[in-house]
Amino acid sequence: MAVASPPPNTNHIGLTREIYKGAATTLCAGCGHNSITNNLIKALFDFGVEPHMLAKMSGIGCSSKTPAYFVDRAHGFNGVHGRMPSLATGAKLANRDLLVLGISGDGDTASIGLGQFCHMVRRNLDCTYVVEDNGCYGLTKGQFSATADIGSTLKKGQVNEFETIDVCGLAIELGATFVARSFSGDGKQLVPLLEAAFAHRGTAVLDVISPCVTFNDHDGSTKSYAYVKEHDLLLHTPDFIPSYEEVLVDYEPGTVQDVELQDGSHILLRKLEEDYDATDSMDAIRVIREGRERGELVTGLLYVKPDASDLCAREHMAQRPLVQMGEDELRIDRAGWDALMQTFA
């Protein structure tokens, strides 16, 4: 019996991984953002996203350049600083069949774009929203961002005196329906999280810690490779993959594993019990805060509310994308028009 099988090295819609690649990166060698891009390519390929149905949205900054580096065939929109959520909202309203993927940074999300981020989350716009979070402004040479931890220092020694904005905690407070944190180099954790985000109907916020190798990768920074490797507390997915070389781990739920990385640093991986309830927002907030008090970044799927209705559903929008509608569906008919005019007579 002949069974049609997909061509070799293709995903379930018959496309090669090559299709999911983009232009060559222009970011610094070793930048965490490049690792995220690679993981996005894997996730989009695995998920079998139709390239022409993908809308790649971004704001301004190093992070926001990255949509040029994957799925060349898809439409991309690199808008203005901090305003990607509004562009993404409009795009989704116009064509609800699009898979909207927003790539932002910590400055783009937590400083200049905090307002739009908040309102996108509370509207539960159906999109995947990735924050490539390095706690600093790369493009303008390394100033603090609002996600920099209090007490962390810049290369020149300035200390951040201000409270950090925790994107995940904030999102949960705003009624987010999917909130996760991960690490740029942790493909084994990040790829399944991304795929879950694509599948989620609503705003899926992924705060991905992504060390800036140029401006924030030094001992005073709490978002350096070394710091994150030592303080990362992982939920669910237990491996750590720096951009330069893969480190694989395999261990059971409820256990802790000490992993030695290439540079000799160590990471404690704590896989939560399998019965960790990601649907309890109070619990998620507690986990985030307790981690922060210990100086640890808790990673994994922190909170999910799978059955919430998204913006298009709340607006009772037609199932058929608005963009496909023509004069017949959008204009009042002649009889209705004449009757309407009579009401002004």
Where along the sequence are the contacts to another protein (CB under 8 A)?
A: 23, 26, 50-53, 55, 57, 67-68, 71-80, 83, 85-95, 97-98, 115-116, 118-119, 123, 312, 315-319, 321-323, 325-327, 329-332, 334, 336-338, 340-341, 343-345
- Max CA distance (Å), the chain: 83
Beta-carbon contacts of 220 under 8 Å, excluding residues fewer than 6 positions away, are 152, 153, 154, 155, 157
Instruction: Determine contact, residues 238/251, Cβ cutoff 8 Å.
Output: yes
Nearest approach, Cβ of residue 41 and another protein (Å) = 15
Give least dist CB 71 to another protein, A: 8
Strand partners for 131 = 104, 207
Tokens 């509310």 sit on residue:
305
How far is CA 43 from each of CA 35, 108, 156, rounded to the nearest angstrom?
12, 23, 38
Extract long-range pairs of 318-326: CB within 8 Å, 24+ residues apart: 319/96, 321/94, 321/95, 321/96, 321/97, 322/93, 322/94, 322/95, 322/96, 323/94, 323/95, 324/95
Alpha-carbon distance of 247 to 235, in angstroms, equals: 17
**Rounded to the nearest whole angstrom, what is the least distance from the CB of residue 108 to another protein in the complex?**
13
Two structure tokens written together for 313: 């559903």
Q: Which is nearer to another protein, 115 or 295 (CB)?
A: 115
Q: How many other C-beta atoms lie within 10 A of the C-beta of residue 53?
A: 13
Of 83 and 292, which has the nearer Cβ to another protein?
83
- Considering beta carbons, is residue 235 or 312 the nearer one to another protein? 312
Cβ proximity to another protein: between 91 and 168 the closer is 91
- For another protein, which is the closer residue by CB, 77 or 155? 77
What is the C-alpha separation between 132 and 192, in angstroms, rounded? 17
- Give the residue with the Cβ less far from another protein, 5 or 342: 342
Q: Which tokens belong to 246?
A: 């893969």
Task: Pick between residue 87 and residue 278 the one whose CB is nearest to another protein.
Answer: 87
